[in-house]
Amino acid sequence: MTETSRLDFDPIERAGQLWHEHFGEATDEMLLATSIMRVQQLMLARLDAALKPFGITFARYEVLVLISFSRAGSLPLSKIGERLMVHPTSVTNAIDRLESQGLVVREADGSDRRRTLASLTAEGRRVVEQATRALHDIDFAVDGLAPEQQRQAFDLLRAMRSAAGDFPA
């Protein structure tokens, strides 16, 4: 967001005031949910901007990193979707784009020909390394929080994810 397009007030706080006028008490739950959604938008915009020189989005960066973490150097597309918690169509689209950019290759799984594996190319490994440095340079778009506050925020959001069934508590 450019300096000229910034609002001169906090839109979430204003939404709370309007909520109060229309529905009664502005709930902390509404304010928190709206704030989380807005922070997600702001962070994703900055992350994607940092990755733009590499021709990838943060979603595709996550796919590349996940493959780079694999012991075998490749992962089944189904496992990528499971780990990133996205629909198989999203994985297929991401792999299509990454493959067209020369960052990954698809290959049949030698142990189960029904499965397709994705592997990083040498260029894909280079992009992961450079993109990771670019994200570190902007502190992964986590602004305004000291390191101990970042950990507290992570712990709070982890509790919310667990309560929603994202993973076993």
What does the H/E/C string look like for 45-104?
A: HHHHHHHHHHCCCHHHHHHHHHHHHCCCCEEEHHHHHHHHCCCHHHHHHHHHHHHHCCCE
Helix (H, G, I), strand (E, B) or coil at 146: coil
Where are the chain's structural domains?
10-46, 55-138
Mean pLDDT value of segment 83-93:
93
Average pLDDT, the chain: 92
Average the pLDDT over 16-20 and give the result. Answer: 88
55-138 has which fold? Answer: Arc Repressor Mutant, subunit A (1.10.10)
Of 11, 127, 147, the closest CA to residue 68 belongs to: 127
pTM for the whole structure: 0.87
Segment 138-150 mean pLDDT: 94
**Cα 25 off chain centre by:** 33
Give Cβ neighbours of residue 102 (< 8 Å, ≥ 6 apart).
121, 123, 124
Q: Identify the bridge partners of residue 112 per DSSP, sorted by sequence position.
A: 109
Q: Is 60 exceeded by the pLDDT of residue 4?
A: no
